[in-house]
Amino acid sequence: MSLKVWIDGKLHDKEDARISVYDHGLLYGDGVFEGLRVYHGRVFELHAHMRRLFDSANAIRLSIPYTAEQLRTAIEETVRVNSFTDCYIRLVVTRGVGYLGLNPNKCAKPSVIIITDTIEMYPQEMYEKGMSTITASVIRNHPNALSPRIKSLNYLNNILAKIEAADAGVPEAIMLNGEGNVSECTADNIFLVRDGIVTTPATHDGILEGITRRVIIRLCHNLSIPISERSVQRHDLYIADECFVTGTGAEVVPVTKIDGRPIGNAQPGPITRKLSEAFHRLVREG
């Protein structure tokens, strides 16, 4: 059976799901999106994802032609028609069909797309043994150029850093900001552990405020694990006892080597494992 894709209120077979070549989401990356997870038939952190979607849209002056409740219903309908109990959701809002010019006012109406499918960010072995990363030479977009807090369709900044990772034979790259401090990875937020304290870059360091990042911070508080949001330098990466990355697609992945340097004993550490186990309990139990 072909998967169904929801586009502007109608379900289409995956093979027939189309947008116009004049859509400004395609022509200029003009739009926003969210990646969500369904666990055991329940959309995880749906309210938080919806809030970020509408915040991102407001930041680029894009009016979403549906309410959050209408989108919730559409998501549930698309998951149900595709018979998923566990899946990944891509919710996309584009500026819509316009002309061959930048002016967004030429676009008559935004377009909304909901895709449900399976996803595997990294092989299972990396969750058990950890993964290697590099620090990219491509810096994160400056917040006054294009705010990383906007989850926009324009991902070229991240893609260029991802190409560096692929060239180096690793699955992920750590991006620094214009001041040389650690920002985030190409698709994930990053956490360090040093002397029992978990640290993650702050919002002002040029990060996307990840939903899974927020859940991990909450779990740290619940488990009485000290957590700090502050600026992190490359030096802090190299001397960390543990490191891990988080994301809706990735969930929680240990990092055991950065720029060829082992992190700690080059094995997933106890706090990383504790938080990963707590996260998976949360998504299982609701």
CA pair distance 46, 29, nearest whole angstrom? 24
CA pair distance 107, 20, nearest whole angstrom? 12
DSSP notation for 148-193: TTS-BS--HHHHHHHHHHHHTT-SEEEEE-TTSBEEEESSSEEEEE
CA pair distance 189, 201, nearest whole angstrom? 8
| CA distance to 13, 32, 98, per residue, from 25 (Å) | 21, 9, 10
CA pair distance 286, 274, nearest whole angstrom? 18
At 148, the amino acid letter reads: P
CA pair distance 113, 96, nearest whole angstrom? 11
Q: Which of 106, 109, 151, 274 is catalytic?
A: 151
Q: Within its chain, how far is the Cα of 191 from the centroid?
A: 14
Number of Cβ atoms within 10 Å of the Cβ of 258: 20
| CA-closest candidate to residue 208, choices 69, 49, 18 | 49
- Crossing angle of helices 270-285 and 211-222, in 10° steps, is 110
Task: Check: CB of residue 75 under 8 Å from CB of residue 121.
Answer: no
Q: Is 106 a catalytic residue?
A: no
| CA-closest candidate to residue 242, choices 182, 199, 278, 184 | 199
Q: Which residues are catalytic?
A: 151
